[in-house]
Amino acid sequence: MSREAAFFDLDKTLMAGSSGMQFAKAARERGLISRAQIFRWGRDHIRYRIKGATDDETSEILKVARETLSGVAYLEISRMWPEVLAGILPRIYPEVLSEVHRHQDEGRLTYIVSAAGSDMVESLAQVLGMDGGIGTKYVVENGAYTGGLDGPFVYGRGKVVAIENLGKEIELDLEGSWAYSDSASDLPMMELVGNAVAVNPDAPLLEKARLEGWKVMRFDRLGRNLAIGGTVAGALLVGGIGGWLSKRRTG
């Protein structure tokens, strides 16, 4: 029998701000990016928090990410994920996490769908107790990233491709499924399912949501408290990610 699912965008939907900024901080500490780059990304992060990102800006982000990863050891990037997740977890919106739990209680599968790297997205989904994370995959050869993509860039129409690929593996009832996002760039994903929810939407998405009668959720403050047992328990969960990744690589 086909199953229903709920798909959650990450940046400014499941979390406040950009996961890319947390990656940039960790990459800077390891010398993977320059001080000038981190300053520019910080400026862009503030602008993104205020008005979102255009398609051209997102393409530029992808270009920089590919250039940054090219030639870097897979193991080095993998060791960054606990630190990156530690920066993301305090920014999770409790209101959206409650939606995740509601869908789980009603028997739906729950997924994060993001342009961010697949390993990080899968790790975050694991920590939050979700069924999976769908992110952008990069080619790894001889233990290092080549800078090439291994599949679609999971942004815009790419999210539709990724969800449809998942649908080939497991039978999904998309008409009975849900999608959550803050940006009009995710309209292809939101129109793919029968139930769309606009979360802190940008102006074009808000206009579309009003036209279609979609639910709109608004809460622009940072999520400070996760329902995972407090700061200490959260730190323990993040610490366990390193072992999970090691087992994943060994497998």
Q: Give catalytic status of residue 173 as yes or no.
A: no
Tokens encoding 128: 């939050």
Residue 117 and residue 133 in contact, taking contact as beta carbons nearer than 8 Å:
no
CA-only gyration radius of the chain, Å: 17
Q: Give catalytic status of residue 119 as yes or no.
A: no
Exactly one of 11, 44, 119, 131 is catalytic; which is it?
11
Residue 216 and residue 202 in contact, taking contact as beta carbons nearer than 8 Å:
no
List beta partners, residue 210: none
Exactly one of 9, 119, 182, 186 is catalytic; which is it?
9
The string of DSSP codes covering 233-251 is HHHHHHHHHHHHHHHHHH-
Residue 76 φ/ψ region, left for φ over 0, alpha for ψ in the -120 to 50 degree band, beta for the rest? alpha
Catalytic residue numbers, as ranges: 9, 11
